[in-house]
Amino acid sequence: MKFFVDTAEIDQIRELHALGMVDGVTTNPSLIAKSGRDILGVIKEICEIVEGPVSAEVVALEADAMIAEGRKLAAIAPNIAVKVPLTWDGLKACKVLSGEGNMVNVTLCFSANQALLAAKAGATFISPFIGRLDDINIDGLDLIADIRTIYDNYGFDTQILAASIRSANHMSECAKIGADVATAPPSVIKAMANHVLTDKGLAGFMADVAKAGIKIL
C-alpha cells in the first residue's frame, strides 16, 4: 500500500520523504491556508520534493470553472493530481481533465455508488473518507471493502485512496482490505511505529545496559 501524507507542512514532508515513507501528498486549500503562504507556491515546492502524485484541490463548484482551475493546477508540475469533489459537476470536470491526460483525485466519497461513478468518469484516485463515516456511526472500513469488491469485479483502474485516516489501526486495516493508497497526517504515520511492548522491551534493555555499564562509543 502506498503512503500519501496529508499535510502542507514542508518540513514534515521532507522528513518522511527522507525515510521513504512518502509516495505522494494530499493537500487542500484549508491545509495550505494554515501556513499563511501562497497556495500555488506551496504546491510547486511540494512537487519539487515528492516524485509521486501531489493532490491539489479546486475551489470552484461549477464544472467549467473546475476544469479551468484544474488546468491551471495541472500546469504547476507533471505530478499534480487535480482534486475535485464528488458532485455531478465534479464528475463532469473529472471526465474532461482525465481525458486530457491529467491525474484526477475525486474526493469526498461516502458511498460505493459514488465510487462507481468516479471510476466510470475516469478518476485516477477515489478518496473515501473513513473517519467522517465513523463520526456518524457508519464503519468507514466497510466502504473501502465494498469499493475494492466493485473495482475488482470490473477491472477498474481507479485507485482507492483511503482518506480521513484517524489512527494507525485505520492504516493496517486499509492495507488488509486492499486499499491502493492511504493518506494520513504525519502524526498517524509516525504512530504506526509505536507499540506498548516495544516500549516495555526497550525499557528493560536499557536498564540491563545501565546495570552492566555497557558502552559502544
Phi/psi for 21 (5° steps) reads -100, 10
CA distance 15 to 13: 6
Q: Is residue 121 part of a domain?
A: yes
Q: Which of 2, 34, 72, 83 is catalytic?
A: 83
Q: What pLDDT, on the 0 to 100 scale, is given for residue 22?
A: 95
Q: What pLDDT, on the 0 to 100 scale, is given for residue 128?
A: 98
Residue with C-alpha cell 475525486?
106
Which domain does 59 fall in, by range?
Answer: 2-186
Check if 83 is active-site. Answer: yes
| CATH code (residue 56) | 3.20.20.70
Q: What pLDDT, on the 0 to 100 scale, is given for residue 31?
A: 80
* 182 strand-pairing partners: 3, 162
In the 3-class helix/strand/coil scheme, how is 79-124 assigned residue by residue?
CEEEEEECCHHHHHHHHHHHHCCCEEEEEEECCHHHHHHHHHCCCC
Domains: count for the chain: 1
Whether the full predicted model's pTM is greater than 0.75, yes or no, is: yes
Q: Is residue 197 part of a domain?
A: no
Per-residue pLDDT of the chain (217 residues; tens, 9 = 90+): 999 999 999 999 999 999 999 999 999 888 888 777 888 999 999 999 999 999 999 999 999 999 999 999 999 999 999 999 999 999 999 999 999 999 999 999 999 999 999 999 999 999 999 999 999 999 999 999 999 999 999 999 999 999 999 999 999 999 999 999 999 999 999 999 999 999 999 999 999 998 999 999 9
User: Do residues 58 and 70 lie in contact, with contact meaning Cβ atoms separated by under 8 Å?
Assistant: yes
